Amino acid sequence: NEARDQKSSCMIYHPSMDEKAYRRLVLTNDLYRAIENKEFHVLYQPQIDTRTGKIIALEALLRWDHPKKGRISPAEFIPIAEETGLIISIGEWVIRKVCQQLRKWQDDGFAPMGVAVNLSTLQFYQENLAERVEGILKEAGISPFCLELEITESMTINIEQSREALLKLKKLGVSISIDDFGTGYSSLQYLKQLAIDRIKIDQSFIRGLVHDQQDDVIVTTFISITQKMNIDVIAEGVETIDQLSILQQKQCHQVQGYLFSPPLTPETLTQQYYEIQNKAKEYVRVGLNRK
Ligand code: C2E
Ligand code: MG
Ligand code: MG
Ligand code: MG
């Protein structure tokens, strides 16, 4: 604390910068023990079919509950995990956790459900990723068809290198989607050259959908391209019925967002599953009638 006080009295440093750097240092240090201290858990956000209102799949989203600092957003700790290389073990923990949860749901009598897991760049370029994923699936007794791995465009910069990793995963039966679609570079090359199953239209385009003509054009174009290439498309960050209705008119058949549900603990999701689905069915009906 003393060191911090001295620093913040120095004119070159902005005190808030100092605090940020200090926080980052603490988080970096604490991240090393977060797995063994059981500070991570996985939340699940449902994805909805815009024709039926049914829950079609889930996205797994990681949370870190720090003992002193409370809940830390993945936007803050994932970059630290990547920098330190910890993302390899954390990422593997997430996939294992998800598969165990899927096992549990199936044991409890639920029909097998697909779950999408975010993959980080480092993980993606890990040499034996496909083998490790295969091992985790086998261990939990989960079909590879239940697992989708999300990559972002910036990750696939090296198409040659990516193709090999992707082919191995695809051969295994795992699906691949491109997350935050439209925010990276030369997305169309990737769609063509890599066997992508689904794209996730970034929420920044969905936000402007109702009032921004350009976002409307962009989203329309994305949907049309995926239709012609036989790739699935999901819109992320859907928060209003107006957005849903426009997406329905554009023949976007999958959506995810706070309108339907935030990411939930597996227990809450199990408990509220039909409630969420009934509400979604109603929204889908209202959205379709709004044409
Ligand atoms: P993402 O993969 O694009 O995930 C979607 C983010 O949007 C999530 O934020 C989700 O909670 C949020 N979201 C969902 N619906 C809405 C909505 O209607 N409106 C708005 N404004 N936001 C919505 P979250 O959970 O904070 O995660 C942020 C990012 O952190 C994720 O973005 C993903 O890139 C990364 N992340 C999360 N979990 C993992 C993980 O297990 N591994 C890796 N490598 N990255 C992860
Ligand atoms: Mg994602
Ligand atoms: Mg992501
Ligand atoms: Mg995204």
Residue closest via CA to ligand 1's atom 43 equals: 118
88-97, 175-184, 214-223: least confident range: 175-184
What Cα–Cα distance (Å) separates residue 47 from each residue in 195, 202, 215, 291?
Answer: 22, 14, 22, 22
Mean pLDDT of the chain: 91
DSSP class of residue 13 equals: S
pTM of the predicted model as reported, rounded to 2 decimal places: 0.93
More confident residue, 121 or 219: 219
Alpha helices (runs of H) in the chain, residue ranges in sequence order: 2-8, 15-31, 74-84, 87-107, 121-124, 129-140, 159-172, 187-193, 203-207, 213-229, 241-249, 266-289
Q: Could you report the per-residue pLDDT of 228-278, keeping only the tens digit for each?
A: 999 999 999 999 999 999 999 999 999 999 999 999 999 999 999 999 999
Mean pLDDT over residues 225-229, rounded? Answer: 93
User: Looking at residue 1, what is its pLDDT?
Assistant: 41
User: Looking at residue 20, what is its pLDDT?
Assistant: 87
Residue 15 has pLDDT above 50, yes or no: yes
Which atom of ligand 1 lies nearest, measured to the CA of 256?
15
User: Looking at residue 153, what is its pLDDT?
Assistant: 75
Percent of the chain topping pLDDT 90: 79
User: Looking at residue 121, what is its pLDDT?
Assistant: 86
Mean pLDDT over residues 66-78, rounded? Answer: 96
Residue 7 has pLDDT above 60, yes or no: no
User: Looking at residue 3, what is its pLDDT?
Assistant: 43
Q: What is the C-alpha separation between 5 and 137, in angstroms, rounded?
A: 51
Q: Could you report the per-residue pLDDT of 114-153, keeping only the tens digit for each?
A: 999 999 988 988 889 999 999 999 999 999 999 999 998 7
Q: Are 199 and 178 in contact, with CB atoms under 8 Å apart? A: yes
Which atom of ligand 1 lies nearest, measured to the CA of 123?
44
CA 290 to centroid of ligand 3, rounded, Å: 31
Q: What is the C-alpha separation between 126 and 121, in angstroms, rounded?
A: 9
* Ligand 1 surroundings by CB, under 6 angstroms: 45, 61-62, 73-75, 78, 91, 94, 118-120, 179-180, 203, 236-239, 257-258, 263
The predicted complex's ipTM stands at 0.99
DSSP class of residue 50 equals: T
Residue partners of 93: CB distance under 8 A and separation at least 6: 35, 40
Percent of the chain topping pLDDT 70: 92
Residue 10 has pLDDT above 50, yes or no: no
Residue 159 pLDDT level (bands cut at 50, 70, 90): confident
> What tokens were used for 80?
């630290």
Residue 4 has pLDDT above 90, yes or no: no
Mutate to test the pocket of ligand 1, among 86, 89, 118 (most ligand atoms within 8 A of CB): 118
Mean pLDDT over residues 143-164, rounded? Answer: 83
